[in-house]
Amino acid sequence: MSDYRILVTEDPTDICQESWDEVAGNSLHTSYNWQRFWTEAQAPTWPRSRTAMVLVYHGNKMVGHCGAYRYPYPLPLPSCWQRRIARSLLWPLNPVNFHKHPVVHPQADPDEVIPLLLDGVDQLRRRWLAPTARFVLLDRERDQLLFRYLEGKGYVFSPGITDTHLEVKWSSFQDYLQGAMKSKHRNYLARCYRRAIEAGTSFEVLSDPAAHSEQIISLLRNVADHNRSETLYASNFLQAAEQHLGRENIVVICAKVKGRIVACTINYRDHDKITQKSLGMDYGLSQSLNLYRLIIAEGIKYAIKHKIKSVGCGFSQYEIKRRLGLEQIETTTAIKTWPSGLAGVFAYRSGAMKVTSETSSVSKAVSKAST
């Protein structure tokens, strides 16, 4: 183990891109460019969101890494200034979050690298004086080895975010409508389309999203305000996305009413997968015309047209997504707190998750404490 060393840094330029991507493999969301993009895209709010990278080297060779995020809690307070004051006061309680599981070089020994990555997570937590480290969106089957080492390092497990997902197996949008949706939901969607089009609505995949960044960020802020939060994106995030990810991987689907953008989804394409990350809406028009439902359907239409095999739509609005044929995917959150015993306070879950009989007694206790 003496040949191994741990590096914790907040600056992506400290890292060799080629070495990072050699570990990450052929994935956009674990790539160096994704890390660069997300570091630059953080909104300049106070307290400011932070990103960091934990790396393990064997000699001079990078053999594992994971990316960390720390961002202010959304708080149910009525005005922006109240939320900012409360977030500033509560900032020391914010956890260090890991939205992607640690990645190990395919030629490295995960039994040696994973424990060191978790040691690096502890180092970062102490550096940031955070009370908690939290891994989200874990899959018990895929991440079996990681679960074993997380448990050994003192993490407890809670039912996590319920994700949504659609495997695309249709050659046309019409086939999707017939195969994925019940007739009553299909008919309702058709009525929504008809009503929206009669009101002057058109749907478009923006060829140059950065050219519309001011309108888009305004719609994203509307959603954040509606949820008594703030967008995590800086106003120039689309320019940063184009620079680091490439325009072909940024899919912004919008609804326009009489030529004005009133709803949009920000999606990122990763080879044969596409994931919706953010939603923007003008609530006055979008809700009355059911545009959220329609731009989700437009995202599926885009995937079918471009032969994309998988669509991820994140969490929230589960009933709408269920009616559109998306499947709910249960995930697990791993939590380590200092002092221990406070995991329930930091459980990260969404309302559609149901505790299964396979959940451990510790997980059930954490789940109960988080509701």
Q: Any idea what DSSP says for residue 230? A: -
Identify the pLDDT of residue 363: 38
Tens of pLDDT, residue by residue over 152-167, are 999 999 998 899 999 9
Q: Are 145 and 357 in contact (CB under 8 A)?
A: no
Q: Any idea what DSSP says for residue 291? A: H
d(CA 240, CA 266): 14
d(CA 161, CA 156): 15
What pTM did the predictor assign? 0.86
Identify the pLDDT of residue 252: 97
In the block, residue with structure tokens 């600056």: 11
Sequence-distant (≥ 6) Cβ neighbours of residue 252 within 8 angstroms = 205, 206, 209, 212, 216, 238, 264, 265, 266, 267
Question: Phi/psi of residue 182, each to 5°?
Answer: -70, 155
d(CA 312, CA 291): 18
Helix (H) or strand (E) holding 27: none
Sequence-distant (≥ 6) Cβ neighbours of residue 39 within 8 angstroms = 10, 12, 51
Identify the pLDDT of residue 349: 63
d(CA 197, CA 157): 47
d(CA 162, CA 126): 30
Coil, helix or strand at residue 324: coil
Q: Give the pLDDT band (50/70/90) at residue 350.
A: low
- Judge whether residue 121 has pLDDT over 60: yes
Peptide bond into 339 cis (omega under 30): yes
Of 80, 23, 75, give the one whose Cα is nearest residue 53.
23
- Judge whether residue 365 has pLDDT over 80: no
| E strands in the chain | 4-9, 50-58, 61-70, 96-98, 103-104, 132-138, 156-167, 201-205, 250-257, 260-270, 273-281, 310-312, 327-337
Tokens linked to 308:
């994309």
Identify the pLDDT of residue 206: 96
Tens of pLDDT, residue by residue over 69-92, are 998 777 777 787 787 888 888 888
Q: Are 286 and 304 in contact (CB under 8 A)?
A: no
Taking the alpha carbons at both ends of the chain, their separation in whole angstroms is 42
Give one word for 59, left, alpha or beta, with left for phi > 0 and alpha for psi -120 to 50: left
Give, in order, the Cα–Cα distances in Å from 198 to each of 6, 201, 202, 274, 285. 60, 7, 10, 30, 13
Tens of pLDDT, residue by residue over 199-216, are 999 999 999 999 999 999
d(CA 241, CA 234): 11
Tokens linked to 318:
């589960």
Give one word for 290, left, alpha or beta, with left for phi > 0 and alpha for psi -120 to 50: left
Q: Are 313 and 276 in contact (CB under 8 A)?
A: yes
pLDDT cut 70: percent of the chain above it? 93
Q: What is the mean pLDDT of the chain?
A: 89
Angle formed at CA 5 by CA 2 and CA 9, multiple of 5 degrees: 170
